[in-house]
Structure 1
Amino acid sequence: MTSQPARRSGLHPRNRHQSRYDFPALIAACPALEAFVRTSPRGEPTIDFADPLAVRALNQALLASFYQIIHWDIPQGFLCPPVPGRADYLHHLADLLAEDNQGTVPTQADILDIGTGANCIYPLIGQYEYGWRFTGSEVNPDALRSAAAIVAANPGLNRRIRLRRQKQDDAIFRGIIHANERYAATMCNPPFHDSAASAQAGSERKRRNLGLSEQGNALNFGGQPKELWCEGGEVRFIQQMIDESRAFARQVGWFTTLVSRGEHLPEIYRALQGAGAVRVVKKNMAQGQKQSRFIGWSFSEKRPR
Structure 2
Amino acid sequence: MAMNKYMHPRNIYKNPPDFAKLSKDFSEFSNICKKDVSGKVTIDFKDPHSLRVLTRCLLKSDFKLDVKIPEDRLVPTLPLRLNYLLWIEDLMKAIKRTEHVKGLDIGTGACAIYPLLATAKNKWSMLGTENDEESLTKALENIQRNNLQDFIQLKLNKTSSILDYLFTQESGSEFDFSMCNPPFYSNIQELLESRSTARPPPKNGFTGSPHELITEGGELEFCRKMIQESKNHKNKVILFTTMIGHKFTLNELSEDLKADGIKYTSTEFCQGRVTRWGLAWTYQDYDVYKLAPPRDKPRKKIANTVHQLPELSESISNVDLAFNKLKSLLVGLKISNKVLNKKGNCIFLQITATENTWSNQRRKRRMLERKEANDAKKIKQEFSQEAETSVLENNNLEKKPTVPESACSSNLDSCDDVKPPQFLENPGADLEEQQLVHAFLKLFIKDSHIFLETEFLDGTSGKEGLHQIIQFIKNNWK
Category of TM-score, reference length = shorter chain: 0.7 to 0.9
For residues 197 and 109 of structure 1, do their structure 2 counterparts lie closer, same or farther at Cα, with a shift above 3 Å needed? same
Aligned pairs (5 A) from 1:66-215: 66-69=62-65, 71-101=66-96, 106-155=98-147, 157-168=148-159, 170-177=160-167, 178-202=170-194, 208-210=201-203
Deviation at 1:130, TM superposition (A): 1.5
Which has the larger displacement, 19-28 or 36-45? 36-45
For residues 30 and 92 of structure 1, do their structure 2 counterparts lie closer, same or farther at Cα, with a shift above 3 Å needed? same
Deviation at 1:263, TM superposition (A): 1.5
Cα-to-partner distance string for 1:157-211 (whole Å, 9 max, x where unaligned): 111111110111x21112224211110100000111121112123479799223x
Aligned pairs (5 A) from 1:194-273: 194-202=186-194, 208-210=201-203, 220-273=205-258
- Distance, in Å, in 2 between the alignment partners of 1:123 and 1:28 is 29
Contact 2:104 2:179 in 1 (8 A): yes
Query: Whose radius of gyration is greater, 1 or 2?
Result: 2
Cross-structure match for 1:213: none
TM-score (norm 1): 0.86
Cα-to-partner distance string for 1:246-269 (whole Å, 9 max, x where unaligned): 111101000000111112223212
- Distance, in Å, in 1 between the alignment partners of 2:200 and 2:125 is 37
Code of the aligned partner of 2:92: L
Aligned pairs (5 A) from 1:37-48: 37-39=33-35, 43-48=39-44
Deviation at 1:85, TM superposition (A): 0.9
The 3-state SS of whatever aligns with 1:293 is strand
Indicate whether 1:61 and 2:57 are aligned: yes
Deviation at 1:43, TM superposition (A): 5.0
For residues 111 and 29 of structure 1, do their structure 2 counterparts lie closer, same or farther at Cα, with a shift above 3 Å needed? farther
Contact 2:23 2:33 in 1 (8 A): no
Cross-structure match for 2:351: none
Contact 1:81 1:221 in 2 (8 A): no
Indicate whether 1:295 and 2:287 are aligned: no
Deviation at 1:47, TM superposition (A): 0.9
For residues 40 and 255 of structure 1, do their structure 2 counterparts lie closer, same or farther at Cα, with a shift above 3 Å needed? farther
- Distance, in Å, in 1 between the alignment partners of 2:248 and 2:183 is 16
TM-score (norm 2): 0.56
Cα-to-partner distance string for 1:65-108 (whole Å, 9 max, x where unaligned): 11111x2112222111111110110001111111111xxx6132
Q: How many residues align?
A: 283
Contact 1:188 1:257 in 2 (8 A): yes
Cα-to-partner distance string for 1:218-271 (whole Å, 9 max, x where unaligned): x83411222111121111000000001111110100000011111222321233
Code of the aligned partner of 2:110: A
The 3-state SS of whatever aligns with 1:176 is helix
RMSD of the TM alignment (CA)? 2.3
Deviation at 1:41, TM superposition (A): 7.9
Cα-to-partner distance string for 1:130-180 (whole Å, 9 max, x where unaligned): 21111110000010011001001112x111111110111x21112224211
- Distance, in Å, in 2 between the alignment partners of 1:140 and 1:207 is 33
For residues 41 and 237 of structure 1, do their structure 2 counterparts lie closer, same or farther at Cα, with a shift above 3 Å needed? farther
